[in-house]
């Protein structure tokens, strides 16, 4: 996770965040059941005025819990046990598959590639993260601007 700069700290105080002309940074954040701790840490560092989507893929509904996210962010839980796998296969949803589908749909509708105000953090498992990164790069998002777990070696930003 990149350090917060002095400029970002100054720009995101409570007064600035309430101002109508304040630039709000949009976030796309993904996680799975194995990265919930990292997700909590990341969310704790975001300014209260952050907007965007958080997609969390989990094995079943028993994993759903309260997430402390900025109020302008939408949290979507993706329960694999209630989703199908690849169309026509009759298989269940594999790890990373629901996350990949959700992010592809979101990016197709909401992501503006020319907008440098979108921050992307992919915290899920390797397969889903790699698929999502490939899709975003295919849309024109520079791979080096996407934050991924260092152990995956997928992008240069950590």
What does the pLDDT look like over 57-112, one tens digit per residue?
Answer: 999 999 999 999 999 999 999 999 999 887 788 888 999 999 999 999 999 888 87
pLDDT tens track for 118-134:
899 999 899 999 999 99
Cβ count within 10 A of residue 50: 21
pLDDT greater than 80 at residue 20: no
Class of domain 23-152: alpha beta
pLDDT(4) > 50: no
């Amino acid at each position: 996770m990149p350090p917060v700069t002095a400029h970002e700290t100054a720009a995101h105080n409570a007064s600035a965040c309430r101002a109508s002309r304040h630039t709000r940074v949009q976030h796309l954040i993904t996680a799975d059941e194995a990265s919930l701790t990292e997700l909590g840490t990341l969310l704790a560092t975001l300014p209260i005025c952050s907007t965007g989507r958080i997609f969390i893929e989990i094995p079943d509904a028993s994993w759903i819990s309260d997430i402390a996210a900025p109020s302008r962010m939408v949290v979507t839980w993706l329960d694999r046990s209630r989703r199908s796998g690849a169309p026509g296969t009759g298989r269940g949803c594999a790890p990373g598959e629901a996350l990949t589908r959700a992010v592809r749909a979101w990016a197709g509708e909401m992501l503006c590639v020319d907008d440098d105000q979108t921050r992307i953090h992919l915290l899920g498992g390797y397969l889903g993260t790699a698929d999502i990164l490939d899709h975003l790069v295919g849309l024109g998002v520079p791979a080096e601007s996407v934050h991924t777990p260092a152990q995956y070696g997928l992008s240069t930003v950590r």
